[in-house]
Amino acid sequence: MKYLITIVGPTAIGKTALSIKLANHFNCDIISCDSRQFFREMTIGTAVPNPEELATATHHFIQNKSIFDNYTVGDFEKEALIKIEELFQTNDYAVLVGGSGLYVDAILKGFDEFPAIDPAIRENVNLNYENLGIEYLQQQLETLDPEYFQKITFENPQTLQNPQRMMRFVEVCLGTGKPYSSFLNQKKNNRNFTPIVIGLEADRNVIYDRINLRVDIMINEGLLAEAETLYPNKELNALQTVGYRELFSYFDGDFTLPFAIEEIKKNTRRFSKRQLTWFKRKENTQWFDYLTDQKNIIKYIENHLI
């Protein structure tokens, strides 16, 4: 039996430290599924494990791509599953860690299959979005797939503001003549491992305090200079993320620096809330307070090994 020990939870909760502890205990490697730590140009703002942490356990998918690469969650799924299969040739364990819920899901259960879409339809949807804004995509999805529109409005409303995902929903509807939701849950993706999912949590105020402190540390470590080097490429998809976007607005003259820093803290807190909402919906996750003795977490995992 092969086990993928998976650690989830909001940002700044202590997932990296726990993942290293577990990797050392089970003598195995770590697969990172943090969607921004893939990029080598982004170090401080993505809280990449420091050199000492990286040296303590073997990590994969840390700064292995460039911001100029077109790298999707589907690409990650394929590459990570190949790496996990490789690791399981010589070990019964691997650790998966990250706060990007979509990427965790890609590894644990995979995605649904969708038919190919005519590039002309994709281009037209993109053009309409550029001319008419996100409201066009929202109206289209509500018309073409009202069931799915209502579902994400209730369960994951921030998705309605995500143009990439909304364009995908609409292009599938237009390209197939069927609702996007009709392609969901069509087949089960088989995995050759058993996941053991550990969630770390804390009181909201504790999480927020840890986030505020982390942002202050990032600023002191040189986040402003790092963002300045990336500013000429600010339109790249990889850089549409908290911690950089706000500083780009400072460079544009729209924010003062103190206001930009407070915006980073505020938006990171909002992001952590969305992370918890995502992960709390998942079944079969055992949640632990972030201060729980790591020995107790190891004991829980060992009790669930067959």
- Binding-site members are 9-16
SS3 94: strand
* Structural tokens at position 46: 């993505």
Alpha carbons 110 and 287: distance in angstroms, whole number: 23
CB atoms within 10 A of CB 124: 14
Strand segments, DSSP code E, in 189-305 are 194-201, 285-289
Residues making up the annotated binding site for substrate are: 11-16
Residues making up the annotated binding site for ATP are: 9-16
SS3 130: helix
Contacts of 5 (CB under 8 A, 6+ apart): 22, 26, 93, 94, 95, 96, 195, 196, 198, 301
Q: Which among 64, 82, 73 has a CA at the least distance from the CA of 35?
A: 73
